[in-house]
Amino acid sequence: MGEAEFAVIGTGEVPTGNYPERSEFEIAYTVARTAIQDAGIDKDEVGAVLCAQHIMSNPDNDYNTEMVFGRLPEAIGAKGCKVTCMTSSGGASSYSIRKTAEGILRSGETDTVLVVHAQRFSQFSANEQAKYFSIAGCDVEWEYPYGMTYNSLAAMITQAYMTYTGTTIQQIAAVCVACRKWAMLQPNAMFNNKEITIDKVVNARMVSYPLTTLMCNVLGDGGSAFVMTTAEKARKVCDRPVYFLGEGSDYSHRTITRANMMDFNQLTAFLGPIANEAYEKSGLGPQDMDIFEIYGSYPTINLMVFDSLGVTEPGKAGELVEAGETSPGGKYPCSTNGEAMSFGHTGTGCGFAILVETVRQLQGKAGAAQVPGARFAIENCGGGAFMDCHFTVMGSEVP
């Protein structure tokens, strides 16, 4: 990768929540138009439109097929569009689709790519949603027959993390509280008007020990988009482009239960080298980061990722979070959109939401959630049963 070769110049987003009357196509159209307007470019400059897969797509209203076949470029009137495609890597889709965009930009076919995600879970019943996510990604031989779900998987990881690190359940709950504080500053967050406390999180209804309802993410309709271009063009058309400065990626396992991860230290040690690779490629370090945009979906995953970022001794992230250091006004602003736990889980869009929020922060457009003077941030995404992780250092300037 050539550092600072590409940049984001505009973003779009709609509110996350339960909006059954709002179609996937309306979401995609809205965020696409918003991102183009925010970028300050003409729609005909868009030479490629890339979409992320809609999870649980309805065969009677097949968003995925329609988007692959070019419905969105026509709808927004992007007459210069040459390429349409769709990609999916679960929660890591924001990374894989960005790499696809980079390949198209590098080919010279176009210098402007529009990337879009839209999701509408509300068209399905609660039972249909629960059934889908109870088996999605589970091994049909080793997990599915025994009732493995993401909540139970995250619960096992939480028990292991607490045992190995000494992290308390109050510190686990503090992650949820910090995310909610950020969400309260975000007009598009699913839970931006419901304050929570550590006691409320700990004493909420149990889902899978030790996880309570307020420690689990909630599915919501939503979507976001961003406009990518070359660094050369970005400097010409945007007052404050956000550059991709360095990144690191790795894949760990197909499933946790068959990953030979009985030694918990192996799992936590997996993340640190990936973050270090991103730092090294960018020429920056943790001390240079103004924001840490983490996507974990569950509080313990959030802590494990934070442990790997070089800010604190591994296993001690919970102490920082409990002390308020990752909350608004803290020394280490983290997951400033509220993350999947409070912003809402939009399927393959969780990583998109984190990426879009990172860009907003670095462009100084984050409103009430704005971290003053933010110039550099590190963000991550990952998919499946926590199978992979991708860290990216981003900045509003090139060091």
71-82 pLDDT tens trace: 999 999 999 999
Residue of higher predicted confidence among 266 and 378:
378
Task: Report the chain's mean pLDDT, rounded to a whole number.
Answer: 92
Res. 266: pLDDT tops 90: no
The Cα 296–Cα 306 span in angstroms is: 10
φ/ψ (deg, to 5) at 234? -55, -40
Task: With a cut of 90, say whether residue 85 has pLDDT above it.
Answer: yes
Q: What is the DSSP letter of 10?
A: E
Which residues partner with 74 through β-bridges? none
Better pLDDT: 59 or 114: 114
Q: Who contacts 215 (Cβ-Cβ below 8 Å, separation ≥6)? A: 172, 173, 176, 201, 204, 207, 298, 299, 341
179 or 92: whose pLDDT is higher? 179
pLDDT value at position 258? 61
Q: Quick one: average pLDDT of 15-22?
A: 96
Give me the residues paired with residue 223 across strands.
118
* 53 to 5, 16, 155, 365: CA distances (angstroms): 26, 17, 27, 27
**Structural domains in the chain?**
6-124+219-237 (3.40.47.10)
Q: Kindly indicate the confidence band of residue 58, based on its pLDDT and cuts at 50, 70 and 90.
A: confident
Listed in order, strand segments (DSSP E) in the chain are: 6-13, 48-52, 83-87, 112-119, 206-208, 211-212, 222-230, 242-251, 291-293, 376-381, 388-395
List residues bridging with 291 in a β-sheet.
377
Would you list the DSSP string of 99-115? HHHHHHHHHTS-SEEEE
Pairing state of beta strands 242-251 and 6-13? antiparallel
pLDDT of residue 2: 43
| Range among 145-149, 203-207, 266-270 with highest mean pLDDT value | 203-207
Residue 218 has which token pair?
């909630």
Q: Which pairing describes strands 388-395 and 242-251: parallel, antiparallel, or unpaired?
A: antiparallel
Nearest by Cα to 356 from 38, 5, 105, 127: 38
Local confidence band at 262 (pLDDT 50, 70, 90 cut-offs): very low
Indicate whether 59 pLDDT > 80. no
Query: pLDDT at residue 1 above 70?
Result: no
**Interacting residues of 203 by C-beta distance below 8 A, sequence separation 6+:** 212
Q: Which residue has the higher pLDDT, 142 or 166?
A: 166
Neighbours of 126 (CB within 10 A): 10
